[in-house]
């Protein structure tokens, strides 16, 4: 019987020959046989709590694995001064069950012991992350680094580059590396990556980085630093490519495609059995609601929803491909296959998207060049001082087959632009040029009639038409 405040009993005995893992699993098995609850666990110590009973208010039993011995301390809880031999009995019962467990190792106990250690390590790491989410550490490195890199680039753009912090100019964003279809198709393919690190104002930056932090604290510790960074980069690039495929030539920037990729990756993993069911259901619901809300919000003008969807698809693909490697992290062949499949799928889709993407601005410029060529040929004929010296019949024929022909070809080139997704300025300019072509053709048709009929009755109409042409030329020159 032990007496103290509180009462306790301590005993040491030699360290068994089994390795630490088997010993730890055996201690766990012995405590389970005694119906004790695990209170805390480290690699070298266990603390259990015994059940309350008529003869005991419950004891705390601490097992410490020392260098060459094991120490067991059973201590009364509360204010028990006399233990009536309960603590000594606890030690004796534990030693007996431990001897039995060491003689007959339980494979299931070894697995449970590993899982408990991992969960405790994860909890400690998560506490460190929660306490300092913006400070990089060995487990949570990429997310805070990405946040600080994006902040640093934005500050350099605003302070060093003089870009407006709220509403930056599109031309300045292009100069810094924003995604812009005409320039990408002229060989500046790096824009599909660089645009992921630029933001269109401080509000855009804050919203994106908050979303990145929210997903990063869950996902990066789960899949690891390398997979997180690879997935972030691939999703961002894929989102930029889908943006090029889907949108008209617009200036696009922001990390949202890459961030949606991270949410897509996490949703894919939540659809597997990698995460415990209870946790999985709650997280999956919140992730799906977040993604659905932001995709619906992306229908508003000025938001690049194509990049969001592209990043989300890339993340889903990567998540399902990464799953086997997370189940068997030491299987190198699984990793190779996972990366090969995911990269191949995304490469094929990216190649298809780029191949079938129309560079509207490039096509528009080519059509304008074609218009300019035909206009020039028609004007050369009209300004030639030798024209009109031949017979009237020959001159009329040349007006028809040279001047009118070329203006009709110029009009055809402009009509092609109506099939393109152009900005308002391009649409207006193209419409004015079409009016110009129609007026040129109208004036030449009037001139033909006047020559054929040998009359001056068409002169007022020709003069009015020429005045309209001069107005258009003046408008185009001054715009």
Largest CA distance in the chain: 138
Which residues, 6 or more positions from 123, have their beta carbon under 8 angstroms from its beta carbon?
none
d(C-alpha 391, C-alpha 379), whole Å: 20
344: how many CB neighbours lie within 10 A of its CB? 11
Between CA 219 and CA 274 the distance in angstroms is 12
Pick the catalytic residue from 26, 56, 256, 443. 256
Strand ranges, E, within 167-322: none
* Rounded Cα gap, residues 28 and 144, in angstroms: 38
Residue 444's nearest CA partner among 430, 461, 432 is 461
Active-site residue flag, 406: no
Is-catalytic flag, 393? no
Structure tokens at 399: 């007006």
Could you give the angle at which helices 360-382 and 405-417 cross, rounded to 10 degrees? Answer: 170
What are the two backbone dihedrals, phi and then psi, of residue 72, each rounded to the nearest 5 degrees?
-120, 125
Select which of 204, 308, 374, 406 is catalytic.
308
Q: What are phi and psi of 444, to 5 degrees?
A: -70, -35
Q: Which residue carries 């020159």 as its tokens?
A: 477
Looking at the DSSP assignment, which residues form a beta bridge with residue 59? Answer: 76
DSSP-derived 3-state class of residue 17: coil
Asked whether 221 and 122 are in contact (CB, 8 A), the reply is yes
The CA distance from 52 to 37, in Å, is 11
User: Contact 365/426 with Cβ under 8 angstroms?
Assistant: no
Q: Please list the helix, strand and coil fractions of the chain in percent, rounded to the nearest 5, in that order.
A: 65, 10, 25
Identify the CA nearest to 316 among candidates 294, 296, 345.
345
Handedness of CA 305, 311, 312, 313 (dihedral sign): positive
CB 311 within 8 A of CB 257: yes
What positions carry a catalytic annotation? Answer: 256, 308
């Amino acid at each position: 019987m032990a007496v103290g405040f509180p009462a306790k009993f301590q005993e040491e005995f030699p360290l068994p020959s089994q390795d630490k893992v088997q010993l730890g699993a055996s201690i766990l098995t012995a405590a389970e046989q005694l119906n004790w609850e695990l209170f805390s666990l480290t690699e070298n110590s266990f603390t259990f709590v015994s059940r309350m009973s008529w003869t005991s208010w419950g004891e705390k039993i601490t097992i410490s694995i020392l260098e060459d011995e094991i120490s067991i301390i059973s201590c009364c809880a509360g204010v028990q001064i006399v233990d009536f031999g309960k603590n000594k009995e606890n030690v004796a019962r534990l030693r007996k069950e431990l001897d039995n467990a060491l003689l007959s190792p339980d494979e299931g106990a070894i697995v449970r012991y590993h899982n408990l250690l991992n969960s405790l390590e994860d909890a400690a790491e998560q506490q460190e992350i929660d306490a300092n989410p913006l400070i990089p550490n060995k487990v949570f490195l990429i997310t805070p680094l990405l946040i600080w890199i994006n902040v640093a680039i934005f500050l350099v753009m605003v302070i060093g580059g003089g870009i407006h912090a709220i509403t930056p100019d599109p031309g300045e964003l292009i100069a810094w590396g924003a995604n812009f279809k005409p320039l990408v198709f002229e060989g500046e393919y790096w824009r599909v990556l660089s645009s992921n690190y630029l933001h269109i104002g401080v509000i855009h930056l804050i919203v994106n980085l908050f979303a990145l932090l929210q997903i990063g604290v869950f996902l990066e510790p789960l899949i690891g630093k390398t997979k997180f960074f690879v997935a972030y980069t691939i999703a961002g690039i894929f989102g930029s490519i889908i943006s090029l495929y889907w949108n008209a030539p617009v200036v696009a920037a922001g990390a949202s495609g890459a961030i949606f990729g991270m949410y897509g990756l996490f949703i894919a993993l939540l659809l597997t059995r990698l995460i415990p069911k209870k946790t999985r259901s709650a997280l999956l619901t919140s992730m799906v609601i977040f993604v659905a809300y932001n995709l619906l919000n992306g229908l508003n003008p000025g938001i690049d929803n194509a990049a969001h969807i592209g990043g989300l698809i890339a993340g889903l693909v990567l998540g399902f491909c990464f799953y086997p490697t997370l189940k068997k992290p030491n299987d190198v062949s699984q990793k190779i296959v996972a990366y090969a499949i995911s990269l191949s799928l995304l490469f094929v889709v990216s190649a298809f998207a780029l191949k079938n993407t129309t560079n509207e601005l490039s096509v528009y410029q080519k059509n304008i060049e074609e218009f300019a060529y035909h206009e020039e040929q028609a004007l050369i004929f009209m300004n030639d001082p030798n024209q009109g010296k031949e017979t009237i019949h020959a001159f009329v024929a040349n007006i028809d087959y040279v001047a009118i022909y070329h203006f009709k070809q110029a009009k055809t080139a402009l009509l092609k632009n109506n099939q393109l997704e152009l900005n308002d300025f391009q649409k207006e300019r193209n419409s004015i040029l079409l009016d110009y072509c129609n007026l040129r053709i109208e004036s030449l048709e009037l001139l033909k009639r006047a020559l054929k009929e040998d009359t001056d009755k068409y002169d007022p109409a020709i003069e009015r038409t020429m005045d309209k042409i001069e107005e258009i030329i003046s408008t185009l020159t001054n715009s």
